[in-house]
Amino acid sequence: MRYGAGLNIGKPIDEIVEEAKRLAADGYSCLSSSHIFGYDAITLLGVVGVAVPDVELMTAVVPIYTRHPIAMAQQALTVQAATGGRFALGIGLSHQVLVEAVYGLSFDQPLRAMREYLAILMPLLHHERVRVKGETVSASAGPLEVEVSAPPQVIVAALGTAMLELAGEVADGTATWMTGPKTLAEHIVPTIRTAAERAGRPAPRVLAALPVCVTDEVVAARQRADEVFAIYGTLPSYRAMLDREGAAGPGDAAIVGDEAAVRAVLEELEAAGVTDFSAAPIGSREEVQRTTALFGELATAG
């Protein structure tokens, strides 16, 4: 299992680049950027990738509703070219409340939207022409004139069965959040692997991310996780994963305990079939330092 790290995007770009350099030197195999209400994640990783060699760069994730698949393909191929083939494009649906309330768009047919989006995006990333007339998105374009050594991998944030099957059939893997070892082992991994095998595709990547706190104060840490990540206990897609896991809230899903306890859960995740793990450190300054130190050791050892 490889270890990645999310970049702290709430600061000036030159500071983000310096952080990326430190994380790469610490042995992390992948650096990711989320798409919230700040820097554009794809553009940011292009800037970081030019300055920081020898590490994978991944969006985690860009909502498909933010741009047409032709524009997404152009941008992804541009960053892939600029970084020498080290870019992975993580995309997802986001959530109904965001798509409809913020972007003012319809979230009426999310599975169809992703299927039609990928039907345009994937061929364009492989320098093919597309002609797609869909119900949610259409395109007639290509091939795109961007020279790359290989197309970027496409990672679809998929949690439900139908979306996991689509990701396995068409894309290169999935990325999860607030999804624990039991759910990964019994639902996420077997569903996407079976779909990939059925489609004759390579074994998919399964990227997992969870809050982590290396601490001796377990109860307090779980309470803090419940407070910090409270929103994820209410969003339907994550709520469904928490329910599968038997977790009352984000605090129960968080990986909390001393170094040995955290290592034990990580071993469980690896045994479940997780290929890449990214921690979201939480806690006091001392706890975050302990967490960061442990993952630095794991990343270096890997």
- CATH code for position 32: 3.20.20.30
105 is a domain residue: yes
Tens-place pLDDT, residues 20-48: 999 999 999 999 998 888 999 999 999 99
Tell me: the pLDDT tens digits for 252-273? Answer: 999 999 999 999 999 999 999 9
Q: Is the pLDDT of residue 126 over 80?
A: yes
- Is 121 part of a structural domain of the chain? yes
Band (206; pLDDT cuts 50, 70, 90): very high
Strand-pairing partners, residue 147, are: none
Q: For position 64, what pLDDT does the model report?
A: 97
Give SS3 for 76.
helix
**Residue 293, SS3 per DSSP:** helix
Question: Strand 153-156 relative to strand 138-141: parallel, antiparallel, unpaired?
Answer: unpaired
301: in domain: no
pLDDT, residue 142, reads 86
Its domain, for residue 117, covers 1-157
Band (pLDDT 50/70/90 cuts) for residue 289 is: very high
Answer whether residue 127 is part of any domain.
yes
77/143 Cα distance (integer angstroms): 12
| pLDDT (0 to 100) of residue 36 | 80
Whether residue 115 lies inside any domain: the answer is yes
- Determine the Cα–Cα distance for residues 15 and 20; give it in Å rounded to an integer: 9
Q: Give the mean pLDDT of 152-176.
A: 98
Three-state DSSP class for 30?
strand
Q: What is the mean pLDDT of the chain?
A: 97
Percentage of the chain modeled with pLDDT above 90: 98
pTM attached to this predicted model? 0.96
Number of domains in the chain: 1
pLDDT of amino acid 46: 98
What token pair was written down for 206? 């399964």
